[in-house]
Amino acid sequence: YPWQRERHWFEPSPAISSAAGRVQGVTAGAAHELLGPPLRSPAMAGLLFQSYLSTQEPAYLRDHAIGGQAVLPATAYLAMALAAGRSLVGGDGPAVEELSIDAPLLLPSTGRVAVQVHLQPDSTGAQFKLFASVDEVEWTLHAQGRLCRDAGASSETNRSALVPADLAGRIR
């Protein structure tokens, strides 16, 4: 029958695990699909976020490959840092003042990699560090940087720093 209704919904992945509401690394209550939920510990200052990434979930990560090897894109580091910062500041959230990518985060073709984002707040913003581990025993620092609390103030301040002083008078 040509007018019969068809269902066009994605079916959930068979890899769904019911443990702690985790769906291949995405946990209920997460601030961002790549970030995971915030974890607080009396043994450590700041916030810690942990998630699991693979080439299967989220599936779009497998499309960012270099020489056939899936690599976490630089924008993912920024997205996770900003989402972590928003959970701390709220509202529009912070701005990224500094970002250093120390090592590429290679995603295994099978299995998953544990990713932790540590956020250490201070009076003007926060420092962040992104670590990853395949076995959750040996951790590698992949990215680190600084977030500024006020995104608007940061962009105005940095805009003048980007224009050399001798050209500033010529630009209108």
Average pLDDT, rounded, for the chain: 77
pLDDT at 23: 35
Token code pair at residue 74: 């630089």
143: confidence class by pLDDT, cuts 50, 70, 90? very high
pLDDT at 1: 63
- Percentages helix, strand, coil for the chain (3-state, rounded to 5) are 25, 35, 45
Q: What is the pLDDT of residues 1-51, one digit of tens each?
A: 677 777 666 665 544 333 333 333 334 445 678 888 888 777 888 888 999
168: confidence class by pLDDT, cuts 50, 70, 90? low
What is d(CA 49, CA 84) in angstroms, rounded to the nearest whole number?
8
Whether residue 55 contacts residue 61, with contact meaning beta carbons closer than 8 Å, is answered with yes
pLDDT at 15: 44
* pTM of the entire predicted model: 0.69
